[in-house]
Amino acid sequence: MKKQLVRNSFTGIIQTVIAVILSFSVIPVFINLLGLREYGVFSTIMVIGNLNTFVNIGLANALVKFLAEQGKCDESDYDIVVTLGLTIIIMLPFTLIAIVFNEFILLKILNLPVENFTGIKFLYAAMLVSNFFLFIGQVFKSVLEARQKIDLNNYLQIFYNLVYWFFILAILLLGYGLGELGLAFFIASITWFLLSLYYSSKYWGRLRLAGISRNYKRIVIKQLSYGMKIFTSSMIAFFYEPFTKILISHFIGVTEVGYYDIALRIRTNIWNLVTKGFAPLYPLLASMKDKDKIRLYIHDIEQKSFLVVLPIAIIVLFVTRPFISLWLGQNIRIISDTTVPIVTAYLIAITVVPLYIYLIASGNAGKTIIMQSANVFFNALFFYITYPYFGYYAVVIGNVAAIASSYTISIYYQKKLLESLVFDNFMQVIKLILIGCLIYLLGVGINFSVSSDIGRIFLHPTVIFFASIVFYRLFRVVSEDDVLRYAGGNERLQRWGMRVFVRR
């Protein structure tokens, strides 16, 4: 089991790294060939992908929970078929209605320009159809996840990203515009859908459906009663980033949507890179009944995630501007000033992701509604309060305020439900603050010593990474028990961990 969990986490990280490389390679080509304004239009249309939230009633996550708890049995087979049927019934009319009312959505809601509207409509329609198949395919993805085949899901996602970005790049280099980019979405989504269907059938086996007609109504009620809690949380989450893009488009301009989207892409890639290690926790926690063991898992993983997040956050502070300068070469200041605070805030929020996963897996999904509601409320509140004074940067202020609110609520729920906090004592917090300050001073020294962007991009991560290990060892942040726990039964890894992290 431990080897499978490690493999699931590792492949998730690899998948994210590949996605980062692909997106960061193609986006500059997009902006250079079509312009930042067209990229802003593209980013605004991408909001349509989040519109699935309104019809996603949490069925995929509910399915993982039920299959992980029940295992392979008739009840699980019923769950798969009912979830697939409900998903198609819900998603199909939504897709058709969104296509029929395309002009109202694109012109009135998203406030897109009328120039090249034919191409925009085609891209919009292609994205809707692609999302339909991606949405239905979540059922097959859930089956593989419940089977602890998360590594296979990650490989399929890697293949999807390769197809997606390859076709976008090819279309751009051939001189086509926004409309033709819809083909990239469609081809990638169909390919991923068929592969997910094949492998879920292979690893789950034949569905036994005898008696499903007598149990159909009961299964529907079971799925909806739990899925609706997750759905409500996800629906509220729509009003966070996608709604923010709409606010920017209406109050500031479509070009600024592009700035914000670039910051979000950087944040999302870093977020995915770190949180992919948490992915195996969901089916694992859903199948666990021992509350003391769950408390230990969550408490320990949160602590250790701080050790990962701290150096990454400091690297972001120093590397973002030179990276934007080399990557895009334009609008460096505004994109950097958007990226740094949003990414840093999200990195801190990553440390309570295990608690969020526990809430969904343990039947407490309703509490995530409160967390997402706080996100939306404080994001909008601080945007409207600060917009008259700070203009575009009100977006950054709203995002950071929203993250702080949900983080505080997470800590409250952890204390209430698990009688646990992130840290054992105040001294642990002091040690991390002190280590963070020392690493930051090293970063300042590098900035004074090195002037080239390339030099800073390579030197900061290298120095900060090794300095973090030295300081963790010096301040005895990692114990022998920690090394033994995370190394599992691998003696070589145990010896290496003891030698590097533990000060005797």
Task: Give the pLDDT of residue 459.
Answer: 93
Max mean pLDDT among 72-86, 153-167, 246-260, 478-492 falls in 153-167
Q: Is the pLDDT of residue 196 over 90?
A: yes
Question: b/e per residue, 367-401, with b = 16+ CB within 10 A?
Answer: bbbebbbbbbebbbebbeebbeeeebebbbbbbbb
Q: Which amino acid is at 299?
A: H
Query: For the chain, what is the mean pLDDT?
Result: 82
Q: Which residue has the tokens 């080399």?
A: 326
Task: Give the pLDDT of residue 489.
Answer: 63
Angle (deg, nearest 10), helices 291-327 and 254-275: 140
Q: In this predicted structure, which of 14-23, 227-236, 316-325 has the lowest mean pLDDT? A: 227-236
Is the Cβ–Cβ distance between 324 and 334 less than 8 Å? no
Phi/psi for 363 (5° steps) reads: 85, 10
Q: Which residue has the tokens 């505080």?
A: 408
Task: Give the pLDDT of residue 73.
Answer: 85
Of the pLDDT bands very low, low, confident and very high (cuts 50, 70, 90), residue 163 is very high
* Helices within 147-290 (DSSP H only): 150-173, 178-204, 212-238, 241-251, 254-275, 281-287
Task: Give the pLDDT of residue 380.
Answer: 86
Phi/psi for 326 (5° steps) reads: -80, -35
pLDDT in tens, 294-345: 888 888 888 888 888 899 999 999 999 999 888 877 778 888 999 999 999 9
Dihedral angle of Cα 125, 113, 248, 171, to the nearest 10 degrees: 50
Of the pLDDT bands very low, low, confident and very high (cuts 50, 70, 90), residue 1 is very low
pTM for the whole structure:
0.68
Instruction: Tell which wins on pLDDT, 317 or 118.
Output: 317
Task: Give the pLDDT of residue 487.
Answer: 65
Assigned token pair, 22? 């692909």
Q: Which amino acid is at 311?
A: P
Q: In this structure, what DSSP letter does residue 479 have?
A: -
Max mean pLDDT among 97-111, 360-374, 415-429, 446-460 falls in 446-460
Residue 230's region, left for phi above 0, alpha for psi from -120 to 50, else beta, is alpha
* Distance in angstroms (rounded) separating the CA atoms of residues 262 and 246: 15
Dihedral angle of Cα 247, 248, 253, 258, to the nearest 10 degrees: -140
Q: What is the percent of the chain with per-residue pLDDT over 70, rounded to a whole number?
A: 88
Task: Give the pLDDT of residue 53.
Answer: 47
287 CB-side CA count, 13 A: 16
Domain-by-domain residue ranges, the chain? 2-422, 423-504
* Distance in angstroms (rounded) separating the CA atoms of residues 237 and 124: 22
Q: Which amino acid is at 397?
A: I
Q: Is the pLDDT of residue 393 over 60?
A: yes
Is the Cβ–Cβ distance between 471 and 438 less than 8 Å? yes
pLDDT in tens, 415-467: 888 888 888 788 888 999 999 999 999 999 999 988 888 999 999 999 999 99
Is the Cβ–Cβ distance between 131 and 49 less than 8 Å? yes
Phi/psi for 288 (5° steps) reads: -90, 145
Number of helices (H), then strands (E), belonging to the chain: the values are: 22, 0
Q: In this predicted structure, which of 26-30, 186-190, 321-325, 408-412 has the lowest mean pLDDT? A: 26-30
Q: What is the percent of the chain with per-residue pLDDT over 90, rounded to a whole number?
A: 19
Q: In this structure, what DSSP letter does residue 177 have?
A: -
Q: In this predicted structure, which of 225-229, 255-259, 300-304 has the lowest mean pLDDT? A: 225-229
